[in-house]
Amino acid sequence: MRVRTTYILIICLFFITGCTGQPSPSELNDSELTLNIGYFSEKQFENRYSSLLSIEYPKLNYNVIPTSDLITERISVQEWTAENAVDLIYLPPAYLQSLANNGFLQELDPYIQKTSFSLDTFVPSVVELMKQYGDGKLYGLAPTFYSRALVYNSHLFDQYDVPYPKDQMTWEEIIDLARQFPKGLTHSYPSNAHFLINVGQTENLQAYNEDTKQITLDSSSWANLLELTLEPLRTGNIALHDLNDNLFLTGEYAMGIITYEELIQLEQQGSELEWKLVTMPTHPSEPDSSHHYVLDGMWAIPASSTESDAAWELIRFFMSDQTAKWSYRSVYGFSSLTAYTSMGQSTSDIEAFYKLRPAYRTSPVPSTIYELLNEAIEQAITGNATAEQALAEYAQDYASDSW
């Protein structure tokens, strides 16, 4: 790995003004210091952080050690850590949790207390989610996150004299609202199977048992849920759309489930629409919880780090308002800093994306489940099987293929 020394001169008034509460640059501007940084690839790290570092820490020396083989599981955690000594590392949350459970990472709470690093400026739901991956402790900090919200066209609701959606409605209530329009709800989930499982997760239904490696969709609860969505899916009252062909943006649909990326589209192209945001549907017994949060990654300090104080200082910078301003509306998602989720530029209430608490994470659903499930849903949509029959046949087919 080559040693990167950043001496790039960039004139950036953006950083000269309005930057407060940053970590002291003294240690990271020590020319004798070299940090080894684990990131998916050197190119991706440079694209995201090199300009920032050249401004704030012009004397910082660092190596970027790719973690791609670790993340893609071409090499075991033990092998990778034996071959690569890093001072800080950016990890997908599931990998961070695994490494923390096996003693490979340092707890960050002592650093937070020692440096009076305040978590109060961060989105509370995101802080809670970060702690979930450490069983209540912080082993990593996420500078950004993704989420979903429900957007609605208030003009269409007024035209059809339908009450506006509200925060924390149930899926049944949202689907009932959708039925009052010719085109009620659009979404960008990859398939109807993804949509159904997402709805089921809100209803606390388990799609896959990770312990037994069995699907759990062959039940009356799942059949009832599929039955609820069948007619709207059949008629196009509920429809999926491509990210590059947003049906809500065209004004055709009354409501849409939108992602961070689609919010940017709305902010840039939706000026002619009268749109507002509410939270995603919730379960009646858990109206304050949402399972729609996703962390892009988390910065952590390995237990073997020889420069842990400097590593923490750099993590503080990656979590700072300077970095948040620089990366506003970037491909990495919302800033975890509350003040920079919207920066006052949105025409609607961005809090709908993050005001709910994160639901406790469920077992991930294997990708192989979706293709067969989508075929079963199509069988039910076309009337070739009832919802119950379609799911029962799907369960048999999946079991046969697995065997």
pLDDT band of 7, cuts 50, 70, 90: very low
Percent share of the chain, pLDDT over 90: 65
Right CATH for 148-292+357-402 from 3.40.190.10, 3.40.50.10860, 1.10.3720.10, 3.50.50.60: 3.40.190.10
Two structure tokens written together for 139: 């082993």
pLDDT band of 161, cuts 50, 70, 90: very high
Reported as type and span, the H/E element at residue 89 is: strand 88-91
- Do residues 86 and 37 touch, judged by C-beta distance below 8 A? yes
pLDDT for res 28: 79
Q: Is the pLDDT of residue 399 over 80?
A: no
pLDDT for res 69: 93
pLDDT band of 270, cuts 50, 70, 90: low
60-74, 101-115, 216-230, 344-358: the lowest-pLDDT one: 344-358
Identify the bridge partners of residue 148 per DSSP, sorted by sequence position: 259
Mean pLDDT of all residues belonging to the chain:
87
**DSSP per residue over 249-305, as a string?**
TTT--SEEEEEHHHHHHHHHH-TTS-EEEEPPP-BTTBTTEES--EES-EEE-BTT-
Helices 171-178 & 220-235 angle (0-180, nearest 10): 20
Percent share of the chain, pLDDT over 70: 89
Q: Is the pLDDT of residue 397 over 80?
A: no
73-87, 121-135, 225-239, 279-293: the lowest-pLDDT one: 73-87
The 3-state DSSP class for residue 341 equals: coil
pLDDT for res 21: 37
The 3-state DSSP class for residue 47 equals: helix
**DSSP per residue over 104-155, as a string?**
-B--SHHHHHHTT--STTB-HHHHHHHHHTTTTS-S-B-SEEE-EEEEEEHH
Q: Is the pLDDT of residue 347 over 80?
A: no
Q: How far apart are CA 396 and CA 160, in angstroms?
A: 44
pLDDT band of 366, cuts 50, 70, 90: confident
Identify the bridge partners of residue 90 per DSSP, sorted by sequence position: 299
* Sequence-distant (≥ 6) Cβ neighbours of residue 268 within 8 angstroms: none
44-82 pLDDT, tens digit per residue, is 999 999 999 999 998 899 999 999 999 988 998 889 888
For residues 149-170, average pLDDT = 97
1-5, 127-131, 230-234: the lowest-pLDDT one: 1-5
pLDDT for res 202: 94
* 4-144+294-332: CATH architecture: 3-Layer(aba) Sandwich (3.40)
* Sequence-distant (≥ 6) Cβ neighbours of residue 133 within 8 angstroms: 93, 94, 96, 97, 100, 139, 140, 295, 298
pLDDT for res 22: 43
For residues 273-278, average pLDDT = 93
Cα first-last separation, the chain: 44
Q: Is the pLDDT of residue 328 over 90?
A: no
The 3-state DSSP class for residue 193 equals: helix
Amino acid at 402: S
Q: Is the pLDDT of residue 10 over 60?
A: no
Q: How far apart are CA 280 and CA 245, in angstroms?
A: 21
Q: Is the pLDDT of residue 345 over 60?
A: no
| Domain limits, the chain | 4-144+294-332, 148-292+357-402
Q: Is the pLDDT of residue 390 over 50?
A: yes
pLDDT for res 31: 67
pLDDT for res 183: 97
Q: Is the pLDDT of residue 20 over 80?
A: no
Longest dimension (CA), the chain: 71
21-49 pLDDT, tens digit per residue, is 344 445 777 667 899 999 999 999 999 99
* Measured CA angle at 256 (ends 255, 259), to 5 deg: 155
- Do residues 51 and 8 touch, judged by C-beta distance below 8 A? yes
